[in-house]
Amino acid sequence: MNSQFRLPPDHVTEDPVEHDTLPINEAEQGGDQAAQPLSIGDNLDLLWNDFDYSSLVMSQSFPLNDVALMQAGLSVPGQVSYGNPNEAYENQHMFAGQECGEQGIMSRFESRLPSVEPAYQTQNDAAASGNNNHEAEVRNERLNEHLPAQTTLVRRPAVPWRISKQDYGLIHAVMVSYATILPHDFVLPSRHALCRYVEGFFSGFHEHLPVIHVATFSLVTEAPELILAILSVGARYRFQHRQSHSLYVAAQLLLKYQIEQRVSPGTSSGEGPVWTTPGMLSQHSNPVPQKQHHGKGQGSEASPVNDLHGAARPLPRMLDPSRATTSPDRDLQTMHAMILMIALGTWNDRSLLKDAFSMASHLALLLREHAMHPDANGTDLAWPEWVAAEGRRRAMIVGFCFLNLHSIAYSASPKVLAKDMGLLFLPSPESHWRAPNDAAWREARRRDVHSCCLLRDAYAGLHAAQTDRPSRHELSSFGNYVLIHCIVQDIFFTRQVYFIGGTTSSIASGALSHLDRALRSWQHGWEATKDSSFDPSAPGGPLSFNATALFRLAYSRLHTNMGAHLLLDARDPSTIASAFRNAMAIERSLCVASSVGRAVLQCAHSLSIPVRIGIEFVARTQTLSWSIIHSLCNLECGLFVSKWLQTMAWAVRDGEALREDERRLLGIISAIVSETELASAVQSEADEVGRLLRLSAAVLRLWAHTFQGAHVFDIMGPIGAGLDRCAELVVQDLNPARGLASQ
């Protein structure tokens, strides 16, 4: 049986090799009795048995992938090209379109838990590709809303980063119309740079928060602030930081202008159009006189494409401000631009944090405003209406999740509560969302059955007792991702209830059991989900992989308040290390609870993944495939395991006997470290207290090492250096600990 898609058992069992599914209900059947120890053997079988990483080597080692070749108009190796590069774009299976049904590297990730659901049926190639003529017709019909007739006659590309000269001219003309708002020295990057940045956005950032419907996406139909936000993020993923910052500043100015227009239309201190997309230019044949720039240089003069066709493009006429500021489509695009701007401000230079927190407040207001409108049930909708409804749903849910991630990173109160999003339906599977046309969408819905379920109902089901739990809905990976965010938020507010004297004490046993049951129920659901995978490049996308990181963080925060001690806003490794050292130790009395053992095991598993793949390899390749969620969660998991190991060391120092399940957990962690170059430092210690502290330091150093490669976001450097500094502080405790142990 294929059991590669399972999280490690929620406690240490006797024979991990023979389990096809996780014994997650054992605690409910047998109470809170201590788990039985594993038999002596290879501890790593528990974490690595039947775990296939071979696709990671191929998918992450070679930056010149099929996508990059197609952007350049080249044929993919091993595939036949028929001359016209545009036709190659139309006919290839791109990540922007459908799930590929070809056999190959990724096909091994199509198998699922056989004990939970029937075997996965591979998609038929003909059904997946659909009717090419119909696909082009649908795409052109979508673009006709904003583009001129002569534009729609041009064959549209199948990938969003292939930008024509005409499209580029339209984008540039719109930016010219905002010259009074944009920085005086702003220069729109060249067309090829735009292609590169848009590709960077879709291949790097978008897969982790899939809001855009790529099959119907065209850059020229997007709001100008979203265009610049996409370009800024994409430039980051191409490591062009200076250009990314220039685009960030420009996007921020357009966003602030749009926010002012929503609050008081027509009263903004700046001058410029209100609701203008590049595609709208052709709808207004009458040119508008150039506006006065109040001493600022004209952005069009600095652009290398000011005179694209021998004459400057006419500017669009002003649109009705009331229509502009109340348009639901514009609000969703503005919302999406806010998310991207918050991401850039949150994870980069400390000076941008103020922008990020300010924009987060505006996003929260916009989310709550739109949450008051009912969500459309997608059961009986046609494909275009379904795309619109699902796009609105995803934009709002991604906004909620990202604000929650903001709360996780900086230990701040969430700005939007799960209950505010409770009347939204959970997102559909990625196979539905990626379908390039109506026929492929219908086939995906037939193959990957999905029942609409409100977020509040799905979350209530996680907390219900086993006997009262309703039959589980067919959730998507995105649905599981949203639900684990809700659990993390629930843990945050539960800890606030038990806030005493400036610190957060242990959560009461009743509340802890309630949350622990929700986590085990979520774990069962994750395993039952068809496209769950530990591979970020799996066909279903990285959402399920990202959700497992939040799952481990939830277990950590259930037993410690480590998040309150991270102080990531300082961006200073010494401050991070000092806060870690001052954090409360894990009380030995709490370690008796079986849920603590589950937390230690899950956090240890988070370290076992890069060790299994190769620490050096992960350090050099995770940038473009692993979400920053893993960096944040792995930081807390590393600190949690390190603190637990120190608790074990102090127990041994004080003459307390370790329980058998604790020794088995120590054996698992030791086995993970023994696969690395730090094994000799641990084994060189003669006494047990010294070995445990060396093991604690080794865990931190291994995590720190994964942060040593090149990274997209600036925050990664201080996190890695902070972990290294934490390890140094643990080693400093070795000599005092030896002295006490020998007395």
* One-letter identity of residue 39: S
> Do the beta carbons of residue 561 and residue 506 sit within 8 Å?
no
Token pair listed for 217: 């996406």
pTM confidence score:
0.76
* pLDDT tens, residue by residue, 530-555: 888 888 878 888 999 999 999 999 99
Token pair listed for 224: 């100008």
| pLDDT for the residue numbered 549 | 94
| pLDDT for the residue numbered 560 | 85
| pLDDT for the residue numbered 652 | 92
* pLDDT tens, residue by residue, 633-649: 988 999 999 999 999 99
> Do the beta carbons of residue 245 and residue 185 sit within 8 Å?
no
* pLDDT tens, residue by residue, 671-718: 999 999 999 989 888 889 999 999 999 999 999 998 888 889 999 889
What phi, psi does 499 have (nearest 5°)?
Answer: -75, 120
Chain position carrying tokens 């379908």: 435
Residue 252, judged by CB atoms within 10 A of its CB (0-12, 13-18, 19+), counts as buried
> Do the beta carbons of residue 474 and residue 467 sit within 8 Å?
no
* CB contact set of 175 (below 8 Å; sequence gap of 6+): 182, 186, 188, 224, 299, 300, 303
Low-confidence ranges of the chain (pLDDT < 50): 1-4, 14-41, 51-140, 142-157, 267-275, 284-326, 467, 470, 501-504, 739, 742-743
| pLDDT for the residue numbered 97 | 36
| pLDDT for the residue numbered 279 | 58
* One-letter identity of residue 73: G
Measured distance CA(289)–CA(420) in Å, rounded = 45
CA quadruple 387, 391, 393, 399: dihedral, nearest 10: 170
Measured distance CA(443)–CA(186) in Å, rounded = 46
Measured distance CA(693)–CA(678) in Å, rounded = 13
What phi, psi does 425 have (nearest 5°)?
Answer: -75, 145
* CB contact set of 561 (below 8 Å; sequence gap of 6+): 495, 503, 504, 583, 584
Q: How many CA atoms lie within 13 A of 284 on its CB side?
A: 19
Q: Specify the DSSP class assigned to residue 203.
A: I
| pLDDT for the residue numbered 571 | 87
